[in-house]
């Protein structure tokens, strides 16, 4: 991995949350020559990044003490209460002129509220929608930044180093809340794309008379096809490793952004049928013998005498 520290100069920052995303982001910043102070409640997670050149912190307060003012602290913790608690703890330690970045998948209205509360204390807030997953360390992260433009410009070297290229894959999208809003819509689109791939490949898998090799078809589509994408690349990889998807249950979680996108569709009165249906498909995947399907069978029996398949 070749990440040049000249992508806009080096800075120092603190990072809280050394899970898979946070630790890889810290490593990428270290490769670019930035000074990174890291903290996580799990000491082993901290030490793994310290071994790569980061500076250890034993608490949020310790982390703040090891960064020169004006300070920048990037949070990569789960949305909801963990983020709320982390921001509250940091706000008590930071000073006017410092900056908090939330790079997690927070609800955009929460980000707007947090930005307003921090502004009263003179602390800047950037909400950064972050995409890239476990491949981000090597390939870079897509970053959608909301907040004050001046603050964004001041710490832009961080974004340049995390992005796939110094001038590609990141940008300031609007005021506080907009970064997480754009990421929310991004994930809603992702839901729809994933569902379309899943349905298409299921149709081909069901056409037994052709004996279709789904991995080979995915590989063909990856080059020149109008539906080529990174998601298709990942589809090909999954089918190569496990052509029949043995051992994988048809149970699909959702992390929240799809629900928020559908809620936004309702609030704005803007139709989003594909995203909505893809979310509903995930709900259905978690049900065993869903009541609605059983009621349909019972209704057919009631009005037409159609046979009902009894449960074993």
CATH code of the domain containing 254: 1.10.1040.10
Give how many domains the chain has, as a whole number: 2
Tell me whether strands 99-102 and 35-39 are parallel, antiparallel or unpaired: unpaired
Whether residues 53 and 149 share a domain: the answer is: yes
Domain membership flag for residue 302: no
CB 191 within 8 Å of CB 258: yes
CB 21 within 8 Å of CB 79: no
109 is an active site residue: no
Whether residues 147 and 273 share a domain: the answer is: no
Q: Check whether 5 has a pLDDT greater than 70.
A: no
**Could you say which of 31, 56, 139, 190 is catalytic?**
190
**Could you say which of 160, 183, 257, 264 is catalytic?**
183
Residue where a domain stops, chosen among 175, 205, 233 = 175
Domain membership flag for residue 307: no
Whether residues 198 and 166 share a domain: the answer is: no
CB 116 within 8 Å of CB 267: no
Q: What is the C-alpha separation between 170 and 184, in angstroms, rounded?
A: 16
Confidence of residue 8 (pLDDT cuts 50, 70, 90): low
pTM (predicted TM-score): 0.92
190 is an active site residue: yes
Sheet of 12-16, strand order: 55-56, 35-39, 12-16, 72-75, 99-102, 124-131, 142-146, 170-174
Whether residues 256 and 137 share a domain: the answer is: no
Whether residues 134 and 241 share a domain: the answer is: no
pLDDT, tens digit, for every residue of 182-223? 999 999 999 999 999 999 999 999 999 999 999 999 999 999
Q: What is the C-alpha separation between 171 and 163, in angstroms, rounded?
A: 10
Residue-level pLDDT at 3? 39
Confidence of residue 7 (pLDDT cuts 50, 70, 90): very low
Whether residues 211 and 166 share a domain: the answer is: no
Whether residues 108 and 138 share a domain: the answer is: yes
pLDDT, tens digit, for every residue of 151-166? 999 999 999 999 999 9
């Amino acid at each position: 991995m070749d990440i040049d520290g000249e992508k806009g100069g080096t800075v120092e920052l603190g990072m809280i949350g050394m899970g898979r995303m946070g630790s890889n982001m810290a490593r990428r910043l270290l490769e670019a020559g930035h000074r990174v102070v890291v903290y996580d409640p799990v000491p082993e997670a901290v030490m793994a990044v310290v071994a790569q050149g980061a500076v250890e912190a034993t608490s949020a307060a310790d982390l703040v003490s090891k960064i020169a003012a004006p300070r920048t602290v990037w949070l990569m913790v789960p949305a909801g209460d963990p983020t709320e608690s982390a921001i509250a703890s940091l706000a008590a330690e930071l000073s006017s002129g410092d900056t908090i970045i939330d790079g997690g998948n927070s609800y955009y209205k929460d980000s707007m509220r947090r930005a307003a509360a921090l502004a009263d204390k003179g602390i800047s807030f950037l909400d950064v929608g972050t995409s890239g997953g476990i491949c981000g360390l090597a390939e870079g992260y897509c970053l959608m930044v909301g907040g004050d433009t001046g603050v964004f410009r001041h710490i832009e070297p961080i974004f340049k180093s995390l992005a796939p290229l110094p001038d590609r894959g990141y940008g300031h999208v609007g005021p506080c809340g907009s970064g997480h809003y754009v990421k929310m819509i991004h994930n809603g689109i992702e839901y729809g794309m994933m569902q379309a791939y899943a349905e298409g490949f299921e149709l081909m898998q069901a056409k037994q008379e052709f004996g279709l090799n789904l991995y080979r078809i995915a590989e063909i589509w990856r080059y020149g096809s109008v539906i080529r994408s990174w998601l298709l690349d990942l589809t090909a990889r999954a089918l190569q490793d496990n052509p029949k998807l043995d051992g994988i249950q048809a149970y699909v979680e959702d992390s929240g952004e799809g629900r928020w996108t559908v809620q936004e569709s309702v609030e704005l009165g803007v139709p989003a049928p594909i995203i909505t249906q893809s979310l509903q498909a995930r709900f259905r995947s978690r049900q065993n013998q869903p009541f609605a399907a059983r009621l349909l069978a019972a209704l057919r029996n009631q009005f037409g005498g159609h046979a009902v398949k009894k449960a074993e």
